Structure 1
Amino acid sequence: MGVRAGVVVCVTSFLLGALFTHWIADSLTLWKSPITDEHLWTAASYYSILAKGPSEILYFLSAVVILGGTTILWSLNDGEAGNLMFDGGSIFLFGTAIAMYLHSVLPSAGLFAKFSSLPAHQLKDPFPRALRHATLELASNNLICSVALTGVLALQAGRFWAESADDGEDDYVVVESEEQKEAQSRAKTPEAQEEQLVQS
Structure 2
Amino acid sequence: MGIRAAVVVCVTSFMLGSLFTHWIADSLTLWKSPTTDQNIWTAATYYSIIANGPAEIQYTVAAIVLLGATTILWSLRDGRAGNLMFDGGSIFLFCTSIWMYLSSVLPSIFSLFKNLPPHPSTHAVPQELHSAIFDVASNNLICSVALTGVLGLQAGRFWAESADTDDLESLRAKPTPGPSRAKTPQSEE
State the TM-score, normalized to the length of structure 2: 0.92
> 2:38 matched to which residue of 1?
38
Offset, 1:126: 1.5
Which sections of structure 1, spanning at least 5 residues, go unmatched?
Answer: none
Range with greater deviation from structure 2 (135-144 or 118-127): 118-127
Paired letter, 1:112: F
* CA distance in 1: counterparts of 2:4 and 2:82, whole angstroms: 14
Range with greater deviation from structure 2 (36-45 or 112-121): 112-121
> How big is each residue's C-alpha offset from its partner over 1:41-96, in whole Å with a ceiling of 9 and x where there is no partner?
01000000000000001100110011000000010121000000000000000000
> 1:14 matched to which residue of 2?
14
Q: The residue matched to 2:78 in structure 1 has which SS?
A: coil
Q: Name which of 100, 113, 116 aligns with 2:114.
A: 116
Which sections of structure 2, spanning at least 5 residues, go unmatched?
Answer: none
CA contact (8 A) 1:7 1:68 kept: yes
> 1:99 matched to which residue of 2?
99
Superposed structure 1 runs of 4+ greater than 3 Å apart: 122-125, 192-195
* CA distance in 2: counterparts of 1:119 and 1:61, whole angstroms: 28
Q: How many residues align?
A: 188
Identity %: 63
Q: CA RMSD in A?
A: 2.2
* CA distance in 2: counterparts of 1:114 and 1:42, whole angstroms: 14
Paired letter, 2:47: Y
Range with greater deviation from structure 2 (114-123 or 81-90): 114-123
For the structure 1 residues 123 and 94, does the alpha-carbon distance in structure 2 shift closer, same or farther, using more than 3 Å as the test? farther
> 2:146 matched to which residue of 1?
148
* CA distance in 1: counterparts of 2:89 and 2:183, whole angstroms: 58
* CA distance in 1: counterparts of 2:18 and 2:128, whole angstroms: 27
Q: Quick check: which has more Rg, 1 or 2?
A: 1
State the TM-score, normalized to the length of structure 1: 0.87
Offset, 1:180: 3.5
Paired letter, 1:27: S
